[in-house]
Structures are given as structure tokens and as C-alpha cells.
């Protein structure tokens, strides 16, 4: 489980104030992997999801830590199909997490006039 | 194509018909054209008494006025038009065909092309789809005509959708049964022994009339059956010989049976009282409504029931059922808490209280219950009154504690009265406390929905939430209607647009056949046009490419509507399915040069739907990829639609 190893190492470094884990992984490659592996199909290109496929829990601005995120992708418990390491490498998975972490945070709905009609 | 000489024709079928009538009347005199008198105009009747009220009139008047056909000599199809005109059928969307040329000619010349008005369609699927969409808005059926064999084959998918959605459509299928006299070649290829067979499994009733009188009986019966719950399409084989030849009455005056609407079946009183008892005494009653009510009266009744019980209502996607602005309108997440569930015309009761997850490589999936083991289940549904077995739209069998066969809207008044009777002061207090908690949850849910819509707000392609918010921003001050359409935009209109009229949301296709959305949206807009309402559809790309000719029908017949493309450049459901199977089989999906697995994308080249629409007489704009450009484009389009023209905005969107 290369990804978990990488994550643990990065987490330790992050805790020590050495490195930002999102910066260590490649956001750009994460975007490519996110599209190539079909994540966008259910989750949208920005991880915004849909009511059908995400049941209201979206992966943009995810609160899941990286290891929990990776564990779910490998062995999902809901409707999501599993992504094995054969299909999606650990490094690509780490990059996908970085890509999602790099998504711009949404504005507050109250500040968007069209959502207050 | 020369037509047969009716004077020479007395085939076995007609001989038997003539003999039977003659036996009854005691006179064997099948009239010939030589004896046929010139058709007289209908005679004016003078009033002889005070007019009866509607009920008395319906009971007393077995037949409406019928032009005198006793002398015969007039085309059979003229009589058919007289029959059709006794019913309230405003439009006839159809693709022209030789197998029904006789009635076509009668409709536009003898019938003056009114009631019904012929709407030219480019495909039989369009004709049926328009009729289906029209019904969902107007609550009235239309009829369509289909060419022999091949035309009815084209129509089948949308007939199936109407059947699954419990929508009445009157289908006349052209045919020429007389093998000895019909033209050889194409007309014979387009004829069948039993042309209705292809749709019998998904129509409620069908018939093959063999005389003019038989047609009159069958057509009125078909209309009555189609418009009695459970509503569904019906089909009548229209024999070209019968329609083309001079009408014959075989010695008996032709008549048109009077149509009297059938009272809808209501639930049995004892079962209704038991349902009320369970609901009133429940701590967490939940109402789930699917194809339950489609009228303002029905919506008001359902609101009344929910408020009496202070029970949350889960709106499935069959109809609006209850305003989404009402605090008792709640998501399906309340179902696991229920101790009593009232299911109203559920398409799939099993899936409402159970869960299936398609998460197994061998396609078996996993099943689990969504509810507590002792939850009591009540059903009011017409499912048991529909006895077709081949096509599996009835879904898995779910045993319920109180199954009530009946129409929801017809049953609600007695259920409301039974609930009022059973509600003690103590139970009223319990209900009131429950209602307060639900109101808080509703407010919280609304805030959460808006915040979810804010995610990816500025993304390109444009998010489906932004798409829907932008549309609503342009129509909110109008009397708008989201017409039946196909774009699956994650339910955002239902989540973001305040809906309290039945025509704000009329549900899905029923059978989920792709190719329904565009024609159904035109049908809905047709109904709205007559009411002066503004129609908007959310049109998916895959659906539009099945029968884009529906756009032309809208332009040709001046049906104003705004179609906003949900153009995600793929058959997205299939994009996801092939990806799933690839994952389950531990393979990397082969995308070729596309975004989705090979065979599922609609790109390379991208279809310019705005140009497609323009070519068929629509105002159009696109492709819009920048969310900042969407509002202004929609504003322009709305102005065009308000001027009476259809308009399409092609928007590149996120997948769902």
C-alpha cells in the first residue's frame, strides 16, 4: 500500500510543520487521474457530486482524511464500485486526493443572489 | 393508388357482419352505393322541455346527435370523424401514412381540422410523446394515428413509456386486413393479421373494429377505458377498407354511444378506516407519494391529509403530489424512522422500503431493508387493477399490511374523513408536536440544499445546480411550467424551484425510454400554450438525438417553449455503467479518445444542438460553457419565447 505509506510519511512531516501534504502530491496529475479513471462521472469534475450518486455527501471539500479516503476507494461500502491498485495506482490516488483538496472552497450560499430567490 | 370498388366487395368478414345484423333486423339488405341517398346535414332539434342536469342527461341520453347515415354513401371515415368529435380531443399529433389516408382526408376536409387538429410529426414516437406530455399538463388525452406495421413499430417505445407512467393515449393503427383486395406490394407489407399484437402487452385495451358501428363502440369504449384509473394507452386497429368504403349501416341506424366519465375506483371503506387507525396512532407516520395526484384538487387533498397527521410526505418523482415548499415535504431519509408508511401509487414499493445496491461483480447486488421490522405498511394503488404480466414495470412484489386497490385522489376524501374521526385530542397534540420538529428539519434541509448548490458554482462545464438556478432566475416572475422532459440534473429544479402547482412538475417518462423527453416537452408546451403559461424544458443531449424532429413540430405549429440543453456530451447513465463493470472486473476502462468508455460519449465531433434547432425554425444560442454567459443568454431566449417562438440554449454542463 504505497499510498498509505506515503500519506503516513506526509502526515508526520505535516505535523512537524515541514511540508504541506497537498503540495507534495501533484494536483495537476490528480486532475488527469480523476478524469481518466472516471471519478468525474458520478462526482462531477469539481467533486460536487449529485443527489443520486452521492446522497448529499460530496467529495469536494471532503472532510475525510487521506487514509480514510483511500480505504473507501479501495473497498467502498455503498454503490461506488471498487478501484483496485491494478486500476488506480496508489500515487494517482494520492494525487486525486490532492486535486480534491485543491478545489476552491464554495462561496456561502447566502452570498449568491441566485440561491436566494 | 387506386382504391377498391366497394360495390364489388363483400368479403367474409363483412358478410358475417351483414348477416348478423340482418338476422337481428329480419331484413337482408346490405345497401349498395346505388341505393345510397345523398347525405343530409344534421337536423336541428328543438327543445321540448327544460334541460336536464348533467347527471340526468348522461343517464337519459344514450346517444348523442348523429348525422343521418341511413342513406349511406358517405365515406366510412366521415362517420369515424363524427365519432371522434363527440369526445374532447383537441389535437392529433401524427406522422402521415397511406394506411390511414381515408380518415386523414376526412379529418382535415370533412372535419375541418378542428377537434382534433392535425399536428404534423416527423416520427410516430413524436406523436405519442406529444400526447403523453400534453396529458401530464392538461389531464386530457390526445389521439394519434400510426401507419400500419412499421409506424406502430416506431411508436412502441413511447407507448410503453405512457403505459408505465399511467397516461392515457388513444392510438389508431392503420391496417388493411382484406388480403384479397388490398393493394399488393408496400400496403400489404404494412398490413398484419393482428396489428395490435405488438403493443398489447403494454396497452390497457385494444380492438379491431369490422364495421362502422363497431368502430363507434370501440372508440368510445377505448376512450372510456383509457381515462378510467389506472390510466393507460389504448389502441384500435383502423381498417383501411372500412375507413375508405361508403359507410354501411346494414339496415340499422348508426349511432354514437355517449361517453360518460367513469367514477374512479375508490378504496374499500373498511380498509380505509383501518389505514386511518394505523396512521393516527403511529408515532412516526410517513406518507410516500409517487404517481399519486396530478390535479390541484388532488394536491390540496394530500396536503390536508398530511397536515391532519402532521406526517412528512416523501415526494417520489412520478408527480408533484405536494408543494415542495410545504414544510411536510421531506426527503426519503425520514423513511427509516417510520412506524407506519402510507404508500400512494408507488411505482416501486419494494424499493421504497428496501435497498438494492448494484455492487457485485456478478450482477447479483445486495439487498437490505430500509425500515424497522415492525413498520406497518399501507398501500393505496391501482397496480392491482392493471393485469398485464409480460413487461416487468410492476417491479418486485412487496407485501403490505393494508393493501387498498383504488385511485388515490378518489380515495383521499374518505381517508381524510376517517382520520378526522379517529383523531382524539391526545393524538392531535402528538401530531402537533411532531409537526414542529418537522418544520425545523425542513428549514435546515433547505439551507443545506442551497449550500450544496454553491459547490462548483463557477465551474466550466457549468454545474447542474447553477444551470437550474440561472433558469429559475429568468422565469420566476412568470406563470411557468417545467414541462415533461428528460434532463437528469440531479433533481435541482425540485430542490431549488418553489413548486406548488401540478404543472410545475409532472414527473418522469415512466418507462425511462430515451427519446421521450423532447416530444413530451413539446406536448406539455402545447397544453401550456392554450393556458397562456410559459414552458421551459431541460433537454438532455442523448434524448434529443433520438427524435430531434419534435423540434420542427413545435416550430411548425407555433408552440412556444424554452429548451435548455443539459449537454453533458454522453449517454451518461451508460458512461457510469460501463465504468462500473470495468471496475468490478478489475480492468481499466478503455476510453479511446473520449471522456467516457468507448461507445458512451457523444463527442468527437460535438453536436451543435443550437444549429440543429435553428435549422428547424427555432431561435437558438450556444454552446454556453462560461457560467457568466448563461444568464444573459437565457434572458434573450425568454424574450423570444414570450413573443411566441420556441428557443433553445445549448449549455455544456457537468455530468449530473
- Domain spans of chain B? 62-244, 269-449, 455-569+606-652
**Min Cα separation A95/chain B (Å):** 18
Q: Which string of DSSP letters, residue by residue, matches B585-605?
A: TT-----TTSSSSTTSB--SS
Residues in chain A within 8 Å Cβ distance of B357:
78-79
| DSSP code for B108 | I
Nearest to A109 among B454, B456, B572 (CB): B454
Of all residues in chain B, what percent are helix, strand and coil, respectively (each to 5)?
A: 40, 15, 45
Cβ-defined contact of A106 to B451 (cutoff 8 Å): yes
Min mean pLDDT across B54-63, B95-104, B475-484, B508-517 is at: B54-63
Residue in chain A nearest B576 by alpha carbon: A41
C-alpha cell at B201: 402487452
Nearest to B454 among A47, A81, A115 (CB): A115
How far apart are alpha carbons B327 and B446 in whole angstroms? Answer: 10
Cβ-defined contact of B583 to A46 (cutoff 8 Å): no
Provide the CATH topology of domain B269-449: Rossmann fold (3.40.50)
Position with higher pLDDT, B636 vs A14: B636
**Mean pLDDT, chain B, integer:** 90
- Residue B306: the pLDDT is 98
Most confident of A40-44, B37-41, B420-424: B420-424
**Confidence tier at B18 by pLDDT (50, 70, 90):** very low
Sheet strands side by side (includes B143-146): B143-146, B170-175, B234-239, B205-207
Of all residues in chain A, what percent are helix, strand and coil, respectively (each to 5)?
A: 55, 0, 45
The CATH code of domain B62-244 reads 3.40.50.970
Beta strand B647-652 with B562-567 is: parallel
> Taking residues B365-373, what's their average pLDDT?
94
Residue A1 predicted with pLDDT over 60: no
Is the domain defined by B455-569+606-652 classed in CATH 3.40.50.970? yes
Encode burial over B396-427: b for 16+ CB neighbours within 10 A, e otherwise: eebebebbbbbbbbbbbebbbebbeebbeeeb
> Taking residues B619-647, what's their average pLDDT?
98
Cβ-defined contact of A50 to B464 (cutoff 8 Å): yes
- Residue B363: the pLDDT is 73
Residue A42 predicted with pLDDT over 70: yes
**Confidence tier at B253 by pLDDT (50, 70, 90):** confident
Residue in chain B nearest A50 by alpha carbon: B490
Cβ-defined contact of B451 to A112 (cutoff 8 Å): no
> Distances from the Cα of B600 to the Cαs of A32, B402, B542, B571, in angstroms?
20, 44, 10, 5
- Residue A11: the pLDDT is 38
- Residue B232: the pLDDT is 98
- Residue B72: the pLDDT is 61
Q: For residue B25, what is the enclosing H or E element? A: helix B12-25
Mutate to test the interface with A, among B367, B456, B465 (most CBs of A within 10 A): B456
Beta strand B117-120 with B91-94 is: parallel
Cβ-defined contact of B455 to A109 (cutoff 8 Å): no
User: So what CATH class is A2-104?
Assistant: mainly alpha
**Min Cα separation A73/chain B (Å):** 11
Per DSSP (E only), the strands in B281-365 are: 285-289, 313-315, 329-330, 340-344, 354-357
Candidates A81, A27, A47; CA nearest to B357 is A81
> Taking residues B235-249, what's their average pLDDT?
93
Fold agreement (B62-244, B269-449): yes
Residues in chain A within 8 Å Cβ distance of B464:
50
Beta strand B366-369 with B329-330 is: unpaired
Cβ-defined contact of A76 to B448 (cutoff 8 Å): no
How far apart are alpha carbons B540 and B571 in whole angstroms? Answer: 9
pLDDT in tens, B190-204: 999 999 999 999 999
**Min Cα separation A82/chain B (Å):** 6
Residue A61 predicted with pLDDT over 60: yes
Amino acid at each position: 500500500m504505497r499510498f498509505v505509506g506515503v500519506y503516513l510519511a506526509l502526515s508526520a512531516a505535516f505535523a512537524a510543520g515541514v511540508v504541506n501534504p497537498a503540495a507534495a502530491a501533484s494536483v495537476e496529475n490528480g486532475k488527469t487521474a480523476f478524469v481518466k479513471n472516471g471519478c468525474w462521472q458520478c462526482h462531477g469534475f469539481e467533486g460536487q457530486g449529485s443527489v443520486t450518486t452521492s446522497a448529499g455527501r460530496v467529495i469536494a471539500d471532503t472532510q475525510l482524511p487521506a487514509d480514510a479516503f483511500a480505504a473507501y476507494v479501495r473497498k467502498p461500502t455503498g454503490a461506488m464500485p471498487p478501484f483496485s491498485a491494478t486500476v488506480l495506482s496508489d500515487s494517482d490516488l494520492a494525487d486525486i486526493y490532492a486535486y480534491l483538496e485543491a478545489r476552491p472552497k464554495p462561496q456561502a450560499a447566502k452570498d449568491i443572489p441566485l440561491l436566494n430567490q | 393508388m387506386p382504391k377498391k370498388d366497394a360495390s364489388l366487395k363483400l368479403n367474409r368478414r363483412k358478410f358475417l357482419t351483414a348477416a348478423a345484423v340482418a338476422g337481428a333486423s329480419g331484413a337482408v339488405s346490405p345497401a349498395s352505393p346505388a341505393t345510397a341517398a345523398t347525405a343530409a346535414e344534421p337536423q336541428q332539434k328543438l327543445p321540448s322541455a327544460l334541460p336536464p342536469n348533467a347527471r340526468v342527461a348522461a343517464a337519459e341520453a344514450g346517444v348523442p346527435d348523429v348525422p343521418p347515415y341511413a342513406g349511406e354513401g358517405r365515406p366510412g371515415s366521415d362517420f369515424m370523424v363524427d365519432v371522434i368529435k363527440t369526445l374532447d380531443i383537441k389535437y392529433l399529433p401524427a406522422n402521415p401514412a397511406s394506411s390511414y389516408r381515408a380518415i386523414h382526408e376526412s379529418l382535415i376536409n370533412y372535419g375541418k381540422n378542428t377537434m382534433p387538429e392535425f399536428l404534423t410529426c416527423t416520427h410516430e414516437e413524436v406523436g405519442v410523446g406529444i400526447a403523453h406530455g400534453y396529458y401530464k399538463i392538461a389531464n386530457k388525452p390526445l389521439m394519434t394515428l400510426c401507419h400500419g406495421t412499421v409506424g406502430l413499430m416506431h411508436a412502441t417505445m413511447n407507448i410503453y413509456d405512457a403505459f408505465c407512467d399511467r397516461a392515457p393515449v388513444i392510438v389508431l393503427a392503420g391496417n388493411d386486413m382484406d388480403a384479397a383486395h388490398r393493394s399488393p406490394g408496400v400496403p400489404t407489407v404494412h398490413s398484419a393479421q393482428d396489428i395490435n399484437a405488438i403493443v398489447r402487452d403494454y396497452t390497457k385495451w385494444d380492438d379491431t373494429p369490422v364495421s362502422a358501428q363497431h368502430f363507434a363502440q370501440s372508440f368510445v369504449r377505448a376512450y372510456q377505458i383509457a381515462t378510467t384509473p389506472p390510466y393507460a394507452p389504448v389502441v384500435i386497429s383502423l381498417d383501411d377498407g372500412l375507413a375508405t368504403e361508403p359507410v354501411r349501416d346494414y339496415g340499422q341506424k348508426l349511432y354514437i354511444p355517449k361517453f360518460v366519465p367513469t367514477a374512479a375506483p375508490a378504496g374499500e371503506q373498511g380498509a380505509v378506516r383501518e389505514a386511518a387507525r394505523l396512521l393516527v396512532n403511529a408515532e412516526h407516520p410517513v406518507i410516500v407519494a409517487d404517481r399519486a395526484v396530478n390535479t390541484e384538487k388532488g394536491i390540496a387533498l394530500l396536503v390536508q391529509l398530511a397536515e391532519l397527521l402532521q406526517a412528512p410526505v416523501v415526494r417520489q418523482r412520478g408527480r408533484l403530489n405536494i408543494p415542495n415548499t410545504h414544510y411536510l415535504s421531506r426527503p426519503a431519509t425520514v423513511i427509516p424512522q417510520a412506524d407506519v408508511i402510507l404508500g400512494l401509487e408507488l411505482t416501486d414499493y419494494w424499493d421504497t422500503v428496501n435497498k438494492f445496491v448494484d455492487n457485485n461483480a456478478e450482477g447479483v447486488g445486495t439487498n437490505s431493508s430500509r425500515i424497522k421490522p415492525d413498520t406497518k405498511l399501507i398501500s393505496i394503488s391501482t397496480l392491482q387493477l392493471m393485469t398485464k404480466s409480460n413487461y416487468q414495470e410492476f417491479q418486485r412484489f412487496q407485501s403490505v399490511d393494508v393493501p387498498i386497490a383504488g385511485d388515490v385522489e378518489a380515495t383521499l376524501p374518505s381517508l381524510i374523513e376517517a382520520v378526522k374521526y379517529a383523531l382524539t385530542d391526545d393524538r392531535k397534540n402528538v401530531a402537533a408536536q411532531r409537526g414542529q420538529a418537522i418544520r425545523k428539519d425542513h428549514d435546515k434541509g433547505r439551507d443545506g440544499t442551497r449550500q450544496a448548490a454553491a459547490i462548483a458554482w463557477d465551474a466550466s462545464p457549468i454545474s447542474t445546480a447553477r444551470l437550474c438556478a440561472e433558469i429559475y432566475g429568468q422565469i420566476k416572475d412568470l406563470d411557468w411550467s417545467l414541462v415533461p422532459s428528460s434532463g437528469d440534473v440531479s433533481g435541482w429544479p425540485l430542490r431549488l424551484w418553489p413548486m406548488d402547482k401540478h404543472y410545475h412538475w409532472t414527473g418522469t417518462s415512466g418507462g425511462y425510454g430515451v427519446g421521450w423527453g423532447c416530444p413530451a416537452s413539446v406536448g406539455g408546451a402545447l397544453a401550456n400554450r392554450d393556458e397562456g403559461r410559459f414552458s421551459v424544458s431541460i433537454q438532455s443531449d442523448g434524448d434529443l438525438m433520438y427524435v430531434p424532429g419534435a423540434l420542427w413540430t413545435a416550430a411548425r405549429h407555433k408552440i412556444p417553449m424554452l429548451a435548455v440543453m443539459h449537454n453533458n456530451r454522453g449517454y451518461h447513465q451508460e458512461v457510469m455503467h460501463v465504468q462500473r463493470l470495468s471496475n468490478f472486473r478489475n480492468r481499466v476502462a478503455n476510453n479511446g479518445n473520449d471522456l467516457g468508455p468507448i461507445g458512451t460519449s457523444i463527442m468527437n465531433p460535438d453536436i451543435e444542438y443550437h444549429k440543429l434547432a435553428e435549422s428547424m425554425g427555432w431561435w437558438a444560442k450556444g454552446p454556453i460553457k462560461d457560467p457568466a454567459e448563461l444568464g444573459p443568454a437565457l434572458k434573450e431566449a425568454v424574450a423570444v419565447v414570450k413573443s411566441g417562438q420556441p428557443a433553445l440554449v445549448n449549455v455544456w454542463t457537468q455530468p449530473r
